[in-house]
């Protein structure tokens, strides 16, 4: 009962914290809210007209929404890159910030859910996916598995982050009997969500571009670059605007891990490119559509070369110790990695996978304006969630937001009285 | 939309009743606003409905379609005939690419006219290249067909025995019937389009917008799993004209083909036309390397 009351105070205190902020904070919130409103309006248009409001058609039946979903599953999975050094190796500099990674995972999964929701033709029937109420086609359907693992990951991270922050708020150490198994479970689960998402495409023999055994490893490698890129920027912002002391060592270590991940990512991409171009079967068409254009159709070619360029430059910047330690090149690298992986997953995975279609037709997909507004709205919801969570987590980690001493004393008295 | 809730009263407590009790009929009504077919918001999967529930469902759909199109519309749910296994055979050497099958199919199966949906795609191929999708042209325009140097490969649902679409559907909205027809429940499909990504034959089509059919063009004789008018946001495809073939008729495309290139029948009938073709002609299936095992065969009659 006492814990419940303390939790209620914790929630109320959190609400008070998010209502306090300087001009910059409120400008950021207002910007996000404006984009959310625009996104909701765009979604209303789509609901009324149907998915004809997007540029998707029978030939390219998944596109920008599903690309964003895939990218964000990767961002969520990347929390594991912080969890392993923090909880398995007890590396202190990262342990201090790992909860931020979990907050990022929670916001990313929330966006994933929204992107799937706006992509389906019948959002009113999504309850058909709820086990027990609808009819989930397990074990056959990979999307059914994805629904289970992604939602499970959301609950898991929400539990871990809330529990950890609440414990710190109460000035207690998290109970390892409860906490450690959850954290350990979250590591394979993070790898699981991105693997299952990769298998969703991987298992389709009709689409040779996806039907490659290294698709899941590629997904993981690119995810381990893009997710931490956000965190590096957030860590530096926190260091600058709050009393948060994040050691350089933590930032440099994460950047180093990202360099290796990007190296693996580029290597795997190279392996795919070699296989397609050297064997030069009819399956090459998809990669040609991506890198050189096919039969005069080249709408995504400039984006793909931009992505390759961004990833290569970022890899070098993060590989060389001097550039990864200089704030300027570090942040440039973060931006390039984010851009490179975002284009690669957002446009470069889905669209060439479906173009040319199974009967050889080429439909030039490019997202419609409405599609872009809806997506911007969803990203804004995600950033808003992340902002609010970081806003609450920061003073807790700094020891500024804690259960009041009076409450604690009365709590101690209460616990002492019976004895 | 109270029928979504009171329907279960005769058939014991169902999930639907539970959901209705949970969400209240207000939620059901709100859901049905987004649903142009006005089918009940909460309903069990077709395979779990009692015969009475099914009959009521069909009656409701008939009333709704009849009101919408201003003429009596029949929605049947004929079961597969025991011991029958349908198969299709198409004579590549006869097909002239006239596309009469495409249009007969649209008229019979009530595909949306705007946006336009066609279940059959006729591909024009070069004789020099053989069956080569990379160089096929589905949009050929010609005053007379066949055009010299070309041959034609019409493609629709292949009704695969090992159907990737059925495997990939997350909610079991599409399945293979005992007579071999792969069907979709348009009222269960969530519109995620996994099946479209999985289909190697481009056979599945999505209702990107609200489907429109002029009332005078609507074929009023429909089947629940076949040619009844579809709602927005769901997937559809060829059903071998389920409303016709389960009543002993040929599919519309077979009947209309002016050169007799299209053959249809019961694979289990030892004296049937399909068996004769499989035993005597040079037969192939599309993309055999994918092991989908189509029930749709192509052959060279001459």
Q: Which residue has the tokens 């198994």?
A: A181
Note whether A45 contacts B: Cβ–Cβ < 8 A.
Answer: no
- Answer yes or no: do B107 and B253 share one domain: yes
Compute φ and ψ for B196, nearest 5 degrees: -70, -35
Tokens of residue A398, six digits: 């700094």
Handedness of CA A204, A207, A213, A217 (dihedral sign): negative
SS3 at position B79:
coil
State mean pLDDT over B84-100.
97
pLDDT at res. B80: 97
User: Rounded to an integer, what distance in angstroms lies between the CA atom of residue B137 and that of residue B155?
Assistant: 12
**Among residues B76, B111, B134, which one ends one of the domains?**
B76
Q: Do B209 and A50 touch (CB under 8 A)?
A: yes
User: Rounded to an integer, what distance in angstroms lies between the CA atom of residue B121 and that of residue A272?
Assistant: 32
Q: Is the pLDDT of residue B32 over 50?
A: no
User: Rounded to an integer, what distance in angstroms lies between the CA atom of residue A349 and that of residue B298?
Assistant: 33
- CB hemisphere CA count around A238 (13 angstroms): 25
Which of A58, A118, A139 is best to mutate for the B interface (most B CBs within 10 A)?
A58
> CA–CA distance from B157 to each of A361, A366, B280, B297 (Å)?
17, 28, 24, 11
pLDDT at res. B7: 37
**Among residues B76, B107, B140, which one ends one of the domains?**
B76
Residue that wins the pLDDT comparison between A190 and A419: A190
Q: Which residues pair with B175 in a beta bridge?
A: B183
Compute φ and ψ for A402, nearest 5 degrees: -140, 165
pLDDT at res. A410: 47
Q: Which residues pair with B154 in a beta bridge?
A: B122
Closest Cα in chain B, distance from residue A212 (Å): 14
Q: Is the pLDDT of residue B173 over 90?
A: yes
Q: Is the pLDDT of residue A361 over 60?
A: yes
How much of chain A, in percent, has pLDDT values that exceed 90? Answer: 78
List the end-to-end C-alpha distance of chain A, in Å, as a whole number.
19
pLDDT at res. A79: 80
Is residue B229 within 8 A of residue B85, CB to CB? The reply is no
pLDDT at res. A235: 86
pLDDT at res. B10: 37
* Residue range of the domain that includes A204: 2-416
- Total tally of structural domains belonging to chain B: 2
- Answer yes or no: do B45 and B85 share one domain: no
Closest Cα in chain B, distance from residue A210 (Å): 11
Among A6-20, B32-46, B134-148, B165-179, which is the least confidently predicted range? B32-46
State mean pLDDT over B72-85.
97
Q: Is the pLDDT of residue B294 over 70?
A: yes
Strands B86-91 and B296-300, by their bridges, are parallel
pLDDT at res. A44: 98
Q: Which residues pair with B111 in a beta bridge?
A: none
Q: Is the pLDDT of residue B196 over 60?
A: yes
**Among residues B76, B103, B135, which one ends one of the domains?**
B76
Closest Cα in chain A, distance from residue B14 (Å): 10
Q: Do B168 and A142 touch (CB under 8 A)?
A: yes
DSSP 8-state code for residue B251: P
The pLDDT mean for chain A works out to 92
User: Rounded to an integer, what distance in angstroms lies between the CA atom of residue A20 and that of residue B53?
Assistant: 56
pLDDT-based confidence at A97, cuts 50/70/90?
A: confident
- Answer yes or no: do B255 and B199 share one domain: yes
pLDDT at res. A394: 93
3-class SS string, A332-376: HHHHHHHHHHHHHHHCCCHHHHHCCCCCCCCCCCCCCHHHHHHHH
Among A173-187, B50-64, B255-269, which is the least confidently predicted range? A173-187
- Answer yes or no: do B194 and B289 share one domain: yes
pLDDT at res. B14: 52
Q: Give residues with Cβ within 8 angstroms of A202, minimum separation 6.
A: A210, A211, A212, A213, A215, A216
Q: Which residues of A17-35 are buried (b: 16+ CB within 10 A; e: fewer)?
A: beeeeeeeeeeebeebeeb
Question: The domain that contains A326 carries what CATH number?
Answer: 1.20.1630.10
Residue that wins the pLDDT comparison between B32 and A394: A394
pLDDT at res. A419: 33
Upstream peptide bond of B146 is cis (omega within 30 degrees of 0)? yes
- Predicted confidence (pLDDT) per residue in A162-189, tens digit: 999 999 999 998 888 998 899 999 999 9
Does this complex have an ipTM over 0.95? Answer: no
Q: Which residues pair with B283 in a beta bridge?
A: B299
Q: Which residue has the tokens 């991270």?
A: A157
Please identify among residues 48-67 of chain A the ones whose CB lies closer than 8 Å to any CB of chain B: 49-52, 56-59, 61-62
Residue that wins the pLDDT comparison between B8 and B17: B17
Q: Do A140 and B168 touch (CB under 8 A)?
A: yes
User: Rounded to an integer, what distance in angstroms lies between the CA atom of residue A61 and that of residue A365?
Assistant: 10
Q: Is the pLDDT of residue A135 over 50?
A: yes
Is residue B110 within 8 A of residue B100, CB to CB? The reply is no
- Total tally of structural domains belonging to chain A: 1
How much of chain B, in percent, has pLDDT values that exceed 70? Answer: 87
User: Rounded to an integer, what distance in angstroms lies between the CA atom of residue B189 and that of residue B235?
Assistant: 7
- Answer yes or no: do B280 and B239 share one domain: yes
Helical residues (DSSP H) of chain B, grouped into ranges: 3-6, 15-33, 51-69, 100-109, 164-168, 194-198, 242-245, 252-256, 273-280
- Predicted confidence (pLDDT) per residue in A215-245, tens digit: 999 999 999 988 889 889 988 988 888 888 8
pLDDT at res. B30: 42
Q: Is the pLDDT of residue B178 over 70?
A: yes
Q: Which residues pair with B74 in a beta bridge?
A: B221
User: Rounded to an integer, what distance in angstroms lies between the CA atom of residue B25 and that of residue A342?
Assistant: 43
Closest Cα in chain A, distance from residue B95 (Å): 18
SS3 at position A53:
helix
pLDDT-based confidence at B39, cuts 50/70/90?
A: low
Contacts of A354 in chain B (CB under 8 A): 197
Contacts of A126 in chain B (CB under 8 A): 190
State mean pLDDT over B165-173.
97
State mean pLDDT over A352-357.
97
State mean pLDDT over A57-77.
96
User: Rounded to an integer, what distance in angstroms lies between the CA atom of residue A316 and that of residue A263?
Assistant: 9
pLDDT at res. A319: 96
* Residue range of the domain that includes B60: 3-76
pLDDT-based confidence at A214, cuts 50/70/90?
A: very high
User: Rounded to an integer, what distance in angstroms lies between the CA atom of residue A161 and that of residue A104?
Assistant: 10
- Answer yes or no: do B54 and B33 share one domain: yes
- Answer yes or no: do B60 and B149 share one domain: no
> CA–CA distance from A90 to each of A82, A103, A377 (Å)?
11, 19, 38
Is residue A118 within 8 A of residue A46, CB to CB? The reply is yes
pLDDT-based confidence at B38, cuts 50/70/90?
A: very low
pLDDT at res. A34: 98
Q: Do A285 and B201 touch (CB under 8 A)?
A: no
Question: What's the pTM?
Answer: 0.92
């Amino acid at each position: 009962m006492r814990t419940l009351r303390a939790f209620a105070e914790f929630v109320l205190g959190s609400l008070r914290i998010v209502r306090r902020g300087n001009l910059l904070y409120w400008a950021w919130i207002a910007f996000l809210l404006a984009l959310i409103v625009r996104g909701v309006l765009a979604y209303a248009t789509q609901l009324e007209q149907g998915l004809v409001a997007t540029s998707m058609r029978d030939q390219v039946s998944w596109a920008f929404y599903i690309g964003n979903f895939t990218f964000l599953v990767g961002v969520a999975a990347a929390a594991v890159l912080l969890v392993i050094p923090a909880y398995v190796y007890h590396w202190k500099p990262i342990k201090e910030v790992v909860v931020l990674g979990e907050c990022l995972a929670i916001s990313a999964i929330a966006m994933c859910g929204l992107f799937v929701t706006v992509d389906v033709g019948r959002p009113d029937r999504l309850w058909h996916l709820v086990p027990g109420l609808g009819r989930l086609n397990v074990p056959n359907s990979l999307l059914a598995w994805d629904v289970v693992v992604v939602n499970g990951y959301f609950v898991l991270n929400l539990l871990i982050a809330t529990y950890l922050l609440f414990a710190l708020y109460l000035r207690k150490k998290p109970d390892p009997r409860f906490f450690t198994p959850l954290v350990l479970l979250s590591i394979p689960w993070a790898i699981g969500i991105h693997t299952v998402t990769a298998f969703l495409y991987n298992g389709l023999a009709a689409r040779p571009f996806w039907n490659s055994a290294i698709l899941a490893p590629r997904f993981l490698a690119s995810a381990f670059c893009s997710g931490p890129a956000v965190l590096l920027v957030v860590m530096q912002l926190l260091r600058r605007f709050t009393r948060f002391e994040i050691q350089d060592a933590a930032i440099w270590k994460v950047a180093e891990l990202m360099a290796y991940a990007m190296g693996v990512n580029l290597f795997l991409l190279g392996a795919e490119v070699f296989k397609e171009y050297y064997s030069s079967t009819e399956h090459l068409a998809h990669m040609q559509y991506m890198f050189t254009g096919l039969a005069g159709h080249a709408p995504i070619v400039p984006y793909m070369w931009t992505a390759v360029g961004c990833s290569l430059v970022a890899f070098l910047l993060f590989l060389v110790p001097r550039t990864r330690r200089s704030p300027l090149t570090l942040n440039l690298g973060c931006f390039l990695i984010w851009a490179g992986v975002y284009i690669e997953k957002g446009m470069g995975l889905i669209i060439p996978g479906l173009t040319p279609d199974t009967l050889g037709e080429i439909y030039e997909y490019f997202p419609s304006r409405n599609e872009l507004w809806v997506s911007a709205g969803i990203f804004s919801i995600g950033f808003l969630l992340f902002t609010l969570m970081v806003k609450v987590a920061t003073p807790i980690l700094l020891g500024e937001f804690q259960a009041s001493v009076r409450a604690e004393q009365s709590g101690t008295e209460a616990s002492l009285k019976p004895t | 939309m109270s029928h979504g809730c009171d329907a279960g009263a005769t058939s014991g407590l169902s999930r639907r009743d539970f959901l209705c009790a949970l969400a209240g009929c207000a939620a059901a009504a709100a859901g049905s606003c987004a649903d142009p077919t006005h089918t009940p918001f909460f309903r069990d999967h077709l395979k779990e409905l009692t015969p009475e529930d099914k009959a009521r469902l069909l009656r409701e759909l008939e009333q709704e379609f009849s009101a919408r199109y201003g003429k009596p519309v029949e929605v049947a749910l004929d079961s597969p005939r025991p011991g029958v296994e349908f198969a299709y055979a198409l004579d590549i050497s006869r097909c002239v690419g006239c596309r009469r099958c495409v249009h007969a199919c649209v008229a019979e199966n009530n595909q949306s006219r705007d946006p336009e949906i066609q279940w059959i795609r006729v591909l024009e191929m070069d004789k020099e290249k053989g069956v080569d999708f990379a160089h096929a042209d589905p949009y050929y325009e010609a005053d007379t067909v066949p055009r010299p140097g070309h041959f034609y490969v019409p493609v629709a649902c292949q009704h695969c025995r090992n159907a990737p679409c059925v495997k990939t559907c997350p909610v079991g909205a599409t399945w293979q019937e005992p007579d071999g027809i792969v069907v979709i429940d348009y009222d269960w499909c969530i519109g995620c389009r996994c099946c479209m990504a999985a289909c190697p034959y481009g056979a599945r089509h999505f209702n990107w917008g609200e489907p429109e059919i002029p009332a005078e063009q609507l074929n009023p004789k429909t089947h629940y799993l076949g040619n009844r008018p579809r709602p927005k946001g769901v997937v559809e495809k060829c059903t071998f004209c389920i409303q016709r073939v389960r009543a002993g008729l040929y599919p519309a495309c077979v009947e209309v083909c002016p050169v007799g290139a299209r053959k249809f029948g019961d694979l289990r009938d030892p004296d049937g036309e399909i068996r004769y073709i499989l035993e005597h002609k040079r037969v192939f299936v599309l993309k055999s390397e994918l092991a989908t095992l189509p029930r749709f065969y192509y052959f060279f009659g001459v």
